[in-house]
Each structure stands twice: as C-alpha cells, then as structure tokens.
Structure 1
Amino acid sequence: MNQEIKVSIIVPCYNSEKYLPETIKSILSQSFKFWECVFVNDGSIDGTENVILNAVSLDKRFRYISQNNKGVCIARNTAIGVSRGKYILCLDADDLISENFIEETVKILDKNLEVKVVASTVRFFGRKKGILTPLSYNIPTMLASNQLVVTSLFRKIDFDRVEGFNENMKDGLEDWDFWISILKNGGKVERCEQAVFFYRILKKSRNSEMAKVNMFKLRLQMWENHKELYSKYFVAPTSYSEYQSIEKSKEYRLGKLLLAPVRKILGK
C-alpha cells in the first residue's frame, strides 16, 4: 500500500460534523486513486470523531489522529509529519475539490521540478459566489497580499525544508507565511485551470474571527519571519489586502460620493 501512495490529503477538523461528510465525499470521488487522507481531530466537542471513524471503517486510505485543541498549524504539521505521500494537499473540513483535482495537479508537479506549488481555479460557494482571480504569483505581489489558498499541491520535501507551518502564526495568516517560505528561495507557481477548489464561505469562519485579532500584529510577525526578503522590496500601501478591502467597501464608496461636490468646489 505504501508504494501506491503518492498524495497525502491533510484535513484538520474542529467541530466539523456538519460539513465534513461532503468533504469526504469529494475526496472519495477523485479520479486519481493513489492517495491517503490524514484527519486530525483538533479537540472537537461535537460528532466530528464519529464522522471520521465511519470514513476510516469504509476505506483503508483514511487515517485518523486525535489531539487536544492546539490550532490548525500544529494540526497540519502533525498530520504531514506522519504522511507517506510525495505530494501534500491541505484541505479544510468544510471545503471541496473537483473529481479531477488531484489527477490534474499531480501531472504538473510530475513534469516540472521548477514548479513548487500548483494552484487551481478557486470558486466561492455558500454565502458568497464567484471566482478568485490572483494578480500574480511573483514574490513582490505575494509579499503584498496572499495569492494562494491553502488547498494547493506541494511537495513534502519542501515542507520539510521550511520546517512546516510556522507555529508563531497560530492566530492567522499561516498559509500565506508558509507559501512565502516555500517560494522565497526560488521556484514557480503554476495554475491548473482544469482543477477546481470549492471554497465554502460561512457566516462565521476562522477568517472572520481572525479579523478580531490585531491584523497589524500578524503582519509584523510575518515581517519578522521574512524580514530579509521584505527589506528587498518596496510595497505600495495600495497593494495591501487590507487597503483593498477598505477601498471596495460600501462605506468607502459612499464617502467618495458624498465628498465629490466638495472636491469639485475645491478643484480637487
């Protein structure tokens, strides 16, 4: 069995009972069969464990780890540490992947050693619909704002090289920090448009909760983690994702509309 495993799918779970069955179904539907899936139950207090154990009983490619609640960084690092695949795909317990996702992304890593990360088409569903359009995967743009979702394929050897997800990013932005670690010393990102990642947008999510945390503290920690790299580039403030979210907000647009007559009078 070990020789057949090429991709390890890593699924951290915290109170994921509601959506996890759909995620498991999308994993089982993969056209590429040489995978394993490592679940990490991160201290759930709902029926998550029962959902995982049912999956494990149905397919020997599913594996299960249980731990006290330690956060997603430690959960992913623990699971990847025991994984047996050459390639790694992190998948959150409420998201989905298209049937051809692994098959199409594996082809790219197989044929090109210069490619470190394979991205995909990203479609939002749930409380928001649409497609995520990245600006660029070059380093200056990646430093300004994250261009990759965590569900992108990468090599385990690169995970080992950067010593995994940095646990000093436990409050958020850990995937962004991880991609910078992977790519900062060279390597390319290639987007596989045929593969689709379905990103569920919930009313309350880890990302929305992260907004309550001091974002500047997180950005400062990223600077500390990669300050030699950041110091090589001047990043315009308008490139930062926080600025862009403000600029696109209803409050910002309304403010511009209300101030337009004043600017006209002042000749601005």
Structure 2
Amino acid sequence: MKINNNIAKDVEAVVTSYNQGKLIIEAIYSLFNQTTPPAKIIVLDDGTTDRNSINILNNIKNNSAIFVPVTIVRQKNSGVSAARNAGINMTKAPMVLVLDGDDKLEPVYIEKVSYMLRQNLFMIAASSWIRTFGVLDATVCPSGGSITAFLARNNCPATNILRREVWENCGGYDETMKSGFEDWEIFLSMLESKQDAYIGIVESPLIDYRTIPDSSNIKSMTKRIELMQYIIEKHINIYKENVLDVILNMEDTSMSRLYGWEKEIVNVKNLKQNLSNTSDDFIKRPSYGDGGMAAAVRIQSQ
C-alpha cells in the first residue's frame, strides 16, 4: 500500500461495524486511499458474532503495512448510535468522520468535505451527494441547509464529517433510537444547539452507498411515522416555531410524487398497457382533498 503523508491532522474517522465480513475492509481501505487520509481511524465493532468478521478485524489490527493508526474497539451489541458515540468519545480531533462499515468513500471525500467545514464556522457538519450501488444504481442528491430544511425530512447522509464540539454539546446520538433515523435526529439536535448553524453538501457523489433490500435504512422506512413522531415530540418547540415551513415542505414533496405518478399512469395508458391494480384503483376511487381527484381528472382527460 502506497503511503500518503498528506494527512488531514484535524480529522479522525469512526467506522461502525457489525457482522460485515469483507465489507469493512472496503470501508477502511477507502479511508487509506483518501487524498488526505484521517489522522486516526477507530473501528467500533458493535458486538460482531460472525467468526469470519472477527478474524478480518483482527487482521486489520495486525497489518504492519497500514500507515494510519487504527484502533479496533469491541462492545456488546448496543445499536449504531451507541457505537458511534463510543467511537467519537475516543477521538481528539475537532472534526470526526462517521462512516458505516458497509459503505465506502471516493478518494477526495475528506479533502473536499473538510475544506467546506474549515471555510465556514457556522457549518456544524458536512457531507456530499451519494452514488448508490448494489440493488440500485443511482445518484442521490441531499441538499443540506439550515434547521428548517431538516424538519420535514433528513437532508444529509449518515456518513458525514461533524464538528466534535457540537456533537458533544448536543449530547451525541440518541441511543434509544435503534430502529433508524438516529442520524436525522442528531442533525436536528446539532442545528438546534447553535444559532445560524447549517449543514453543507459537496455537490458531487463522493459516498458509495451499498443498497440491499434488508438494510437497516430500508427497514426503518416501515416505521417512518412512529420514528417521525418521536423526533417531532423530542424537538417540539422548533417544530411549533416552524410549523408552516414543515407543512408546506411536506406538501411540496407529496405533490411532486403525485405528479410523477400521474405522468407514469398517462404513459402506460398511452402505450395501451394495463395499469397496476394500485393505479387502476386510484383512477376508480381517487383520494379527495390532497390533489388526488384533480390528478385522476387530468389522467382521464388525456
């Protein structure tokens, strides 16, 4: 492995791992291959039980060719929030990169994302667009922003570089959130803790995000309403202060999806193909009061 001496001395990395086999190697090597590697890497293993995964972690620790200090820490399985908090607690640098063990980074991620943070004191965290691979091959473009941008939806990837001081001041990741959305919640907490704070996004896909049907991120969407309720109740004051923005942002998302679905139905009908049962049922019994009936009229008129 070629040694890179251009270390980002103000950035340390925390990689969380749980039964991830060889995937953790890809994540860690993507840190070694950065144009500006982190000063230190802490791998926080959240109670791995798979023997092959344990052996892989041991081999990383014993690899003499590794030029960035790597610390492997094991704890009993406590969830990703607890793992991230434990890892960040061990860091000393002012900026901490949080990376899931089944994802990886493009070589310029740390260079470009940390540069944004150094240039903007009110930026409490930063990340980039995402290139998904696996089941889905796509580019996903979160937009970052101030706290109002985060009230209706999460606008930053879980993989990010955050300011350690702000993380500490807001109490870290919520360790009771074991079903997902813990990254959204901490972004709200961090944005809420500092006036004029915002989160930056490099508009280039520098995160390689692995997509599989049974990933924790995909499964968390089945509990979206329950998790959103928890987040809203925890941050109720900021939601009350910005209720108009929240409602309008959600409505904007809802209408854009409705228009997209409408265009797809029209296209299927124009091709004289059969509609799915769901789409056919929508035409026969459109929803009322949310733009559904208007969409059905437009579809039939075409």
Structure 2 length normalisation: TM-score?
0.77
- Select the residue among 44, 55, 58 that pairs with 1:53: 58
Partners of 1:61 and 1:24 lie apart in 2 by: 11
Tell me if 1:141 matches 2:123.
no
Q: What are the within-5 Å matches in structure 2 for residues 122-201 of structure 1?
A: 122-134=130-142, 137-184=145-192, 185=194, 186-194=196-204, 196-201=206-211
Q: Is the 8 A contact 2:142 2:201 kept in 1?
A: no
One-letter code of the match for 1:188? Y
One-letter code of the match for 2:247? A
Cα separation, partners in 2 of 1:66 and 1:262, compared to 1, 3 Å = closer
Partners of 1:164 and 1:227 lie apart in 2 by: 19
**What corresponds to 2:239 in structure 1?**
230
Once the two structures are superposed, residues 180-215 of structure 1 have per-residue CA deviations (whole angstroms, 9 ceiling, x without a partner) of 111123312222235611111112101233244x43
Q: How many Å apart are 1:37 and its aligned residue?
A: 1.1
- Select the residue among 18, 29, 50 that pairs with 2:33: 29
Cα separation, partners in 2 of 1:19 and 1:253, compared to 1, 3 Å = farther
Q: How many Å apart are 1:243 and its aligned residue?
A: 5.4
Once the two structures are superposed, residues 208-256 of structure 1 have per-residue CA deviations (whole angstroms, 9 ceiling, x without a partner) of 33244x4332112101211110111222277179958985677765544
Partners of 1:148 and 1:99 lie apart in 2 by: 19
What SS does the corresponding residue of 1:169 show, helix, strand or coil? Answer: coil
**What corresponds to 2:126 in structure 1?**
118
* Larger RCO, structure (CA 8 Å, separation 6 or more): 1
Q: How many Å apart are 1:43 and its aligned residue?
A: 1.1
RMSD: 3.1
Q: What are the within-5 Å matches in structure 2 for residues 83-122 of structure 1?
A: 83-122=91-130
Q: Which runs of 4+ in 1 moved over 6 A?
A: 248-251
Partners of 1:241 and 1:77 lie apart in 2 by: 35
Cα separation, partners in 2 of 1:53 and 1:183, compared to 1, 3 Å = same
Partners of 1:98 and 1:227 lie apart in 2 by: 37
Q: Is the 8 A contact 1:10 1:38 kept in 2?
A: yes
One-letter code of the match for 2:118? D
One-letter code of the match for 2:180? G
Q: How many Å apart are 1:143 and its aligned residue?
A: 0.5
Tell me if 1:14 matches 2:22.
no
Tell me if 1:206 matches 2:216.
yes
One-letter code of the match for 1:217? E
Partners of 1:142 and 1:22 lie apart in 2 by: 30
One-letter code of the match for 1:178? I
Cα separation, partners in 2 of 1:167 and 1:34, compared to 1, 3 Å = closer
Structure 1 length normalisation: TM-score?
0.86
**What corresponds to 2:224 in structure 1?**
215
What is the aligned length?
264
Which structure 2 residue ranges, 5 or more long, are not aligned?
A: 1-6, 262-275, 287-294
Q: How many Å apart are 1:170 and its aligned residue?
A: 2.2
Identity of counterpart residues, as a percentage? 24
Partners of 1:238 and 1:254 lie apart in 2 by: 28
